[in-house]
Amino acid sequence: MLCSWLSERLDHNLHPYQCTCLAHIVKLIFSDFTAYGLGHEQTGIQAYVVVSQRVEAEYQRLVRSGKLKE
């Protein structure tokens, strides 16, 4: 669901609040993966990779522009 929503918004930047919320969700998803004993090899699910890369890129863009603090 997140992957398709982000794909539809490729030409739009995320609002700082959206980026903060999505970063939190991505971290929770990864912690759930590790809680179930899945390592980096198994978490290479394409949708998760796409979402985490997009959120990380948006987060770094917002930090560089001064709209978010690290």
> In total, how many domains does the chain have?
1
Per-residue model confidence (pLDDT) at position 40: 65
Q: Distance from first CA to last CA of the chain, Å, rounded?
A: 27
Per-residue model confidence (pLDDT) at position 45: 76
pTM attached to this predicted model? 0.75
**Is 58 a member of any domain?**
yes
Which domain, by its residues, includes 41? 14-65
Express each pLDDT in 45-66 by its tens digit: 777 888 889 999 999 999 999 9
Cα distance between residue 68 and residue 24, in whole Å: 14
**Is 7 a member of any domain?**
no
Q: How many CA atoms lie within 13 A of 16 on its CB side?
A: 9
**Contact predicate 20/68, CB 8 Å:** yes
**Contact predicate 58/19, CB 8 Å:** yes
What are the backbone dihedrals phi and psi of residue 48, each rounded to the nearest 5 degrees, phi first?
A: -65, -40
**Is 27 a member of any domain?**
yes
**Is 37 a member of any domain?**
yes
User: Stretch 13-38: mean pLDDT, rounded?
Assistant: 87
Express each pLDDT in 27-42 by its tens digit: 888 888 778 887 666 6
